[in-house]
Amino acid sequence: MKRYIIYSLLIFLILSACTEEWLEPDPKSFFSPESSLVDKAGMEALIVSINKRYRHEYALTDQHDILGEWNYSDMSINGAPPASIMHNMETQMTPTSTDDKEVSSYWSRAWAGIKDANIIISRIDDVEFSSEADKNEILANGYFSRAYWYYRLVHQFGDVPLLLEEVTSPRLDFYTHTRETILKQIAGDLEFAVQWLPEDVSPGKINGAAGSFLLTKCYLALREFDKAIAEASKIIDGGKYHLMTERFGTTEPEFYEYPILNPDEFDVIWDLHQKNNKSLAENKEAIFVVQDEYLVEGGTERGEGAGKMRDTGPTWWHSAVLDPNGARGTTDNDYDTGLMMIKQLGRGVGRMIPCQFFRDMRWEDTTDIRYSHNNYFGMERYIYNNPNSDYYGQSFNGNFITDIRAWYPIMYNKLVYIDDSKNPKPNGAWSDMYVYRLAELYLLRAEAYWWKGDIPNATKDVNTVRARAQASQKETVDIDYIFDERARELYWETPRKCELTRVAYIMAQLGQDGYSLENMHENNWFYDRVMRRNNFYRDEVLNVSNIYRMLPYHVYWPIKEEVIKSNSLGHINQNMGYPGSENNISPLTDPNQQKPN
């Protein structure tokens, strides 16, 4: 019996190397494409698998891939101390390194998604449908998935091969296409998709608004700013979606075991990020929400749910947190003597530490409810909870804490607090996650207005998001402020690195502020932005024996050497700045061309 993925297995192995996913039993794979993809039901079964892939970067139990999108950019770093944890990108993010786990994981994940999408696209005419509308809806899902993963690839890795058909036989002859060629292809595919994706779908499926959301990003990347504004406005002004401004859904947690939360200060921002509210029909801000629920098909495979407490929380509980007398000031051995910190703060391991700029943004506007008592846990609220300490019950004294993982603020409502009695470990448990929500679309449209020089409308869209948060209104905004606002509103939610690289690419294409495509690996907006905002990379902060270092060419991640060497009959280019880029050849510019003339 054949696995339906066998037809594309070789390209996946070439482009991504082996992953454990291929070793896991998969009941649906007992059927070949010829026997299973013969009707709409068979195609819909494959779409279920495709939709599941969107969730993986957000909802794995440990070391979420999306942490790399944030930690390798302007707002945070991975604070874990082992030498194998990415700190120094010069020595650890290389074509041969295994320390940059998110790089290889994203590469594998994207090509797996493209593989399945191409099965649908290539076989669409072989399937019997009851109507042309049914056929086009299935095809639209395939186009969306391929566009979704290619959008990520070109902003993570730059120029990559463009595959528009299912690979049904062994191939070692792939060639690189330009990112511009790929962006034009997926924008055209999405223009078709948004016409046929349904308006109303069950949670976790792709609707027309999600198609328009992704198409807006593609238009931005292609410098089609008027089209980006029009596409975003279809959703923003269409009447179906709106920012949530009134409280809704499950409005309070199930318990108050410890005094972290203030019952008088719950608000709509709190409601927006509670696990039971993200997929509610009354949540008119949610556009695309991946599903992750206990014992629900498509949920996290492992038995503990998504470990956000563990990944995002500090190691306040660790013995390194000493009081001013040098004695251990915290304990995690007893819930009662632990006061309030164990169950509701978790035993974090510091894999996402915000930079100083992000911490200081809190003080820009004291009325911003995104920083309210329940939504944000500031550094002043960590206390010594060891009854044997002379400082029991007092706030941490930073002068005596040397471990950078031990003590930092957290966006408490969205990153840490996920109470679930099904998982007694304070890791974070199960929760649906936003992929696209309306607040980000306002900020994307603001960016499009800014590129056009329409600063009043750009400012208006940013202020709409700020008004919902009860933050002060700005008189004017620029691209840096728009991305500051994205951090305030979308911390941990969106692929941060991709969006920053997208702006760097636009700047280089337009020749703006002295940037150009020719020397993008030496001078680019992404790197300059990181140096302006992220003190860890700017100051090359030492963490145990490893410094945080980033260089301009890290605007794109490296393509692994094993991928390039395995493609022995073709040529996959390496990104400039990395070893091997001296062997690059001119990339292809015709989407239908697979080899140079």
Identify whether the C-beta of residue 334 lies closer than 8 Å to the C-beta of residue 345. Answer: no
Whole-number pLDDT of residue 378 = 92
Q: Rounded CA gap, 37 and 17, in Å?
A: 27
- Decide the pairing of beta strands 76-77 and 353-354: antiparallel
Question: DSSP class of residue 545?
Answer: T
Handedness of CA 419, 421, 422, 423 (dihedral sign): positive
Mean per-residue pLDDT for 46-72? Answer: 85
Q: Rounded CA gap, 284 and 323, in Å?
A: 47
29 — phi, psi (to 5°)? Answer: -80, 0
Sorted by sequence, the CB contacts under 8 Å of residue 321 that are 6+ apart come out as 315, 328, 329, 330, 384, 396, 401, 403, 406, 407
Identify whether the C-beta of residue 361 lies closer than 8 Å to the C-beta of residue 488. Answer: yes
Mean per-residue pLDDT for 216-225? Answer: 98
504 pLDDT more than 60: yes
Q: Rounded CA gap, 57 and 106, in Å?
A: 8
Q: How many CA atoms lie within 13 A of 464 on its CB side?
A: 19
Handedness of CA 511, 515, 521, 527 (dihedral sign): negative
Q: 388: pLDDT confidence band, cut at 50, 70 and 90?
A: confident
**Among 15-24, 251-260, 390-399, 535-544, which is the least confidently predicted range?**
15-24
22 pLDDT more than 70: no
CB atoms within 10 A of CB 561: 16
Domain ranges of the chain: 257-267+307-419
Identify whether the C-beta of residue 8 lies closer than 8 Å to the C-beta of residue 166. Answer: yes
Residue type, 528: D
Whole-number pLDDT of residue 296 = 59
**pTM for this structure?**
0.92
**Among 17-26, 441-450, 553-562, which is the least confidently predicted range?**
17-26
- Provide DSSP, 113-174: HHHHHHHHHHHGGGSB-SSHHHHHHHHHHHHHHHHHHHHHHHHHTSSB----S---S-----
* C-alpha to C-alpha distances, 284 to 74, 180, 454, 462, nearest whole angstrom: 30, 34, 28, 19
Whole-number pLDDT of residue 38 = 74
> In terms of C-beta density within 10 A (0-12 exposed, 13-18 middle, 19 or more buried), how is residue 297 classed?
exposed
* Angle of CA points 367, 368, 371, to nearest 5°: 115
**175 beta partners:** 571
Q: 5: pLDDT confidence band, cut at 50, 70 and 90?
A: very low
Whole-number pLDDT of residue 158 = 97
Sorted by sequence, the CB contacts under 8 Å of residue 335 that are 6+ apart come out as 257, 342, 343
Q: 344: pLDDT confidence band, cut at 50, 70 and 90?
A: confident
- Decide the pairing of beta strands 286-290 and 353-354: unpaired
Whole-number pLDDT of residue 20 = 37
Question: DSSP class of residue 92?
Answer: H
Q: pLDDT higher for 33 or 185?
A: 185
* C-alpha to C-alpha distances, 100 to 71, 81, 97, nearest whole angstrom: 11, 14, 7
Identify whether the C-beta of residue 464 lies closer than 8 Å to the C-beta of residue 489. Answer: no
* C-alpha to C-alpha distances, 237 to 210, 229, 445, nearest whole angstrom: 15, 11, 12
- Provide DSSP, 31-91: S-HHHHTTBHHHHHHHHHHHHHHHHHHHH-SSS-THHHHHHTTTSEE----STTSS-BHHH
Q: Which pair of tokens denotes residue 383?
A: 């206390």
What tens digit of pLDDT does each residue of 224-269 get? 999 999 999 999 999 999 999 999 997 766 544 546 788 888 999 9
Give the 3-state secondary structure of residue 415: helix
Give the residue from 431, 387, 148 showing the smallest Cα distance to 274. 431
208 — phi, psi (to 5°)? Answer: -60, -35
Alpha carbon 280 to chain centroid, angstroms:
22
